[in-house]
Amino acid sequence: MHGILNNGIQYLVQLIGMYEGSTHYIIAWAVSMVLLAFCGGRKGRAVFIWPAVILLVTVFNPFFIGILFKGEEGQLSGFLPYLWMLPVLIVIPAGAGALASKLPFSVLKVLPFIAVIAFAAYFGVPRPSAYLKLTLPENYHKADTELLTICSYLEVHKKKSGYSAAFEDAGMQDECAEYTARIVTSDLFRTDRDLSRPAELKKALKDGKPDYIVCAKDGKMPDVLDDSGWKAIACTDHYLIYRSL
């Protein structure tokens, strides 16, 4: 029983880390809950404190989690959406607001919010730097322009209706499926086989041969396709489009 509880606590900490990237936020959440309990009034307690207590005792109970994920840590990620029930992002500013409401002067009332912003900037995931580069998307679709060029090329140069194309990059293939329904995507590369070996590629092609293959210029695939009798018909900055002969 003690072991299950220990495991449960470990899993819970892992879960929070997996969810937020750091456990600092849970400390800020706990502090905000205390502030709401003392300064948030009845409404704050009824809507934020008691539901959280009920959830911590039931759904997020370390004992319950210890039993549920016994020896199978891989399952933990499936439990992540349950953390949406604890509205951390709303509770932290609400706690700051509750504290501010009890402070006497306007100047002092600003301090809790400044503290939250400073906390976010200091402990936050340093990802925003990637977003705040102020770069305009290349197109309205917010997709890679090269992908749109390839899709448009395939749509124009189709040799028959219902032709199929296989993309070496799985993400690119999914985006192609999002962009157009005219191109039937092939599952050629969605296999465990090592298709960089010509023999394996030939075997895979026997199962289902696409009309076009889109692969990276600088990978092994162009050599293999050249050897297997495919013809490069077009190229973009980073990709080659091959057609079966």
Site for other proteins in 169-228 (CB under 8 A): 171-175, 177-182, 184-185, 187
Report how far residue 59's alpha carbon sits from residue 235's, in angstroms, rounded to the nearest whole number: 54
Q: What's the min distance (Å) between Cβ of 2 and other proteins?
A: 27
Identify the three-state secondary structure at position 234: strand
Window of 88-96, 192-200, 216-224, 231-239 that interacts with other proteins by CB under 8 A: 88-96
- Do 55 and 86 touch, CB atoms closer than 8 A? yes
Q: Is 85 in the site for other proteins (CB under 8 A)?
A: yes
* CB nearer to other proteins: pick between 224 and 241: 241
Report how far residue 14's alpha carbon sits from residue 140's, in angstroms, rounded to the nearest whole number: 39
* CB nearer to other proteins: pick between 222 and 239: 239
Window 109-128: residues binding other proteins (CB under 8 A): 109-110, 113, 116-117, 120-121, 123-125, 127-128
Q: Is 73 in the site for other proteins (CB under 8 A)?
A: no
Interface with other proteins: number of residues (CB under 8 A) = 77
Among 9, 34, 37, 55, binds other proteins (CB under 8 A): 55
Work out the angle at residue 173's Cα, subtended by the Cα atoms of residues 172 and 178, and round it to the nearest 5 degrees: 95
**Helical H runs in 103-163?**
106-123, 128-131, 145-156
* CB nearer to other proteins: pick between 92 and 224: 92
Report how far residue 78's alpha carbon sits from residue 95's, in angstroms, rounded to the nearest whole number: 29
Among 3, 71, 81, 229, binds other proteins (CB under 8 A): 81
Window 127-156: residues binding other proteins (CB under 8 A): 127-128, 131-137, 140-143
Window 15-44: residues binding other proteins (CB under 8 A): 18-21, 25, 40-44
Identify the three-state secondary structure at position 61: coil
In terms of Cα–Cα distance, which of 171, 158, 155 is closest to 216? 171
Beta bridge partners of 230: 244
Residue reference for tokens 């396709």 = 225
Among 38, 64, 82, 153, binds other proteins (CB under 8 A): 82
Q: Is 64 in the site for other proteins (CB under 8 A)?
A: no
Q: What's the min distance (Å) between Cβ of 235 and other proteins?
A: 23
Phi-psi region of 140 (alpha: psi -120 to 50; beta: other; left: phi over 0): alpha
Report how far residue 233's alpha carbon sits from residue 159's, in angstroms, rounded to the nearest whole number: 13
Distances in Å between the alpha carbon of 80 and those of 8, 14, 53, 60, 119?
15, 10, 18, 11, 23
Among 13, 90, 108, 199, binds other proteins (CB under 8 A): 90
Among 6, 13, 50, 227, binds other proteins (CB under 8 A): 50
* CB nearer to other proteins: pick between 67 and 121: 121
